[in-house]
Structure 1
Amino acid sequence: MTHALALADFGSFFAGGRPVKIEGESSRTVAFTRTASLPYDPNGHYHFEQAYVQYFIPAHRTQPLPLVLLHGGGMTGAMWENTPDGRPGWLQHFLHLGHAVYVVDNVERGRAGWAPFESVWSESPVIRNAEESWSLFRFGRAEDFVRREGFKGQRFPLGAFDTFIQHAVPRWIGNNDAALRGLCAVLERVGPCLLVAHSHGGEVAFRALKEKPDLVRGVIGIEPSGFAEPIRSKTVAGKPILLMYGDYLNATPLWERLVVAGREYANTLQSKGGDIETWWLAEMGIHGNSHMLMMDDNNGELARRVSQWVLARFSF
């Protein structure tokens, strides 16, 4: 991509959340700088559980429905912007392909902010370490992590792995319902759209399809790790849904289970009238993709394939 991109509009907004009044916390003196010290009283009114959205509208659009990009677990909307080794990410590819794009930082992630009070979120956050990322995202075998030796044919830019793990942010495991409410608030602002959801975001997206079927006109699930039950025919009938999987899917027992779950969910969606297509990239002759296929060295090609799939189903 060497040509300049003309935008008709861009900006950002917050959506959803709830007001919270904090009481009973202890006050203390804090020093913001070496010269600015003052009493800090954490008691008072706040707004938590909102989502943050940044949007980009190209001057020349190729299809009417915007793409809403939803990150996976423990990550933020930054995962769509650039690859760890500095190449354009799916945000840039989709814009150059003529799609309006809305990038979500859902509840607790990135610029959406988070609640530091146990009275709001009682559990402790978790954050993914480098070792877990290596195995879970199918970069290589666990025993090869120290040497950073990836699977044969691996397309993820392993030389930038240490940059990649900087994407990891804290997450609160019990916030799935709050994440659903946050995404639904985003949809109400955006209007009819296509959801592009990665990993844990897949469950949130399919739940949103169930809650807001008039707004979610289709779902592109990038290796979703969760789904929504039960499925009602009136929410999925006739709707295009694409599931997309990379390579090395027998690398761990977890991924073997997720593949089975994905096949079963696709079959159920089909039985309810959904227009379902599943891309098993390795079976299509596209080998070497990791769980982070929007960052792999063929991410541009994959974005073009997704765009063509969208354009075949939605046009002006």
Structure 2
Amino acid sequence: MNVPLAKIEQRNVTISEISSFHIGGESVALSDQPRFMMRVAGEGMAREVDLNGSYVTGQLYANHIKLASPQHTEPVMFWHGGAMTGVTWETTPDGRPGWQWLFLQAGYDVIVTDAVERGRASWSPFPQIYDTGPVFRTKEEAWSMYRVGARQSYDARVPYSGQRFPVSGFDALAAQLVPRWTTHDDMTLDAYQALLEKVGPVHLVAHSQGGWFALNMVRRVPHLVRSVVVIEPAGAPRLEQDDVARIGDIPHLFVWGDFIDEVPSWKKYRTATDQYREMMATAGRQTREMDLPAMGIRGNSHVPMMDDNSADIAALIVDWMAQNPGSAK
């Protein structure tokens, strides 16, 4: 099935306000930490550094861009995936406008976030506050998990046939990768909830691990989510019937790229997500799946917001959001 692609109108954007802030978290005091003398700036004099005292932990970062004349009441909020930050949405690795700009052109105020312990959210001392160490993503793992190509093809940089990720920008993508912790789900959900309580309701667009957080969050604060778009979510929670009743008025869109059968982990993530979607659909709730290859749009990687047709995929989502604005709460 070939689907005609909508386009986002190339229009001038007038911005009324740009703000950024941190939200969530708590203060944690440390004692019995070392004191030592060190030079902390260039050729400056050494001074005492005392690591005893209070630290903020568990916060996230948000950047909010407001249009002078938005065409929609609620903003679009973007959540990134594992080992990534809000840079995911800002500019593609090969320098094209990212979804942050495209959704502004579509008339939405836009909020881009860095999750707990990622990017501008900062992170806390280990092992004094974080009780486990970080996980780092290699370029080889990114090449295969983002489904640019088979892992054994990384050295030669041979992508899957028909691949739409701009391979010339792969090193720029790898430069964005940050350490992450695998034990902070509750902390992250708490911070995301605090953010939604501050700025919601929103249209939530989330990628990969962020998609897993988003599908959990709609159960927590359904009144703060107008619609939810999950781009290749890394799994989904197991729903109960009362969950379906509470979140059923929230339109759900699931977007999947190509080459999923090439990576066993992604087959498992999709199976879990399909179970969530099918339970919603069986109950007659508002869900849609955009299986891009099945729609005749072939070659998309795990990061369609960076692929060479990223503007086309954004336009499909904008069109769906216009048709499924969500119920007023």
Q: TM-score, normalised by structure 1?
A: 0.96
1:56 and 2:96 correspond? no
**What letter matches 1:160 in structure 2?**
G
Q: 2:50 and 2:250 mapped to 1: Cα distance?
A: 51
User: How far 1:3 moved relative to its partner?
Assistant: 4.5
**What letter matches 1:130 in structure 2?**
K
Q: 2:238 and 2:46 mapped to 1: Cα distance?
A: 52
Aligned equivalent of 1:283: 294
1:302 and 2:313 correspond? yes
1:96 and 2:105 correspond? yes
**CA 1:273–1:121 in structure 2 vs 1: closer, same or farther (change >3 Å)?**
farther
Question: Which region of structure 1 is more displaced relative to structure 2, 299-308 or 26-35?
Answer: 26-35
Aligned equivalent of 2:203: 194
Whether contact under 8 Å (2:26, 2:56) holds in the other structure is yes
Q: TM-score, normalised by structure 2?
A: 0.92
**What letter matches 1:244 in structure 2?**
V
**CA 1:238–1:247 in structure 2 vs 1: closer, same or farther (change >3 Å)?**
same
**Would you say how many aligned residue pairs link Structure 1 and Structure 2?**
316
Aligned equivalent of 1:215: 224
> Partner of 1:68: helix, strand, or coil?
strand
Q: Map 1:241-280 to 2 at 5 A.
A: 241-280=252-291
Whether contact under 8 Å (1:236, 1:269) holds in the other structure is no
> Partner of 2:262: helix, strand, or coil?
coil
Aligned equivalent of 2:129: 120
Q: 2:203 and 2:181 mapped to 1: Cα distance?
A: 26
> Partner of 1:49: helix, strand, or coil?
strand
Cα RMSD after superposing both structures? 1.6
**CA 1:103–1:5 in structure 2 vs 1: closer, same or farther (change >3 Å)?**
same
Whether contact under 8 Å (1:67, 1:102) holds in the other structure is yes
1:142 and 2:158 correspond? no
Q: Deviations over 1:177-199 (max 9, x none)?
A: 11101110110111211111100
Aligned equivalent of 1:235: 246
User: How far 1:142 moved relative to its partner?
Assistant: 1.2
Structure 2 spans left out of the alignment, 5+ residues:
1-8
Q: 2:314 and 2:69 mapped to 1: Cα distance?
A: 18
Q: 2:55 and 2:80 mapped to 1: Cα distance?
A: 25
Q: Deviations over 1:222-256 (max 9, x none)?
A: 00002223341233122100000001111111122
Whether contact under 8 Å (2:38, 2:48) holds in the other structure is yes
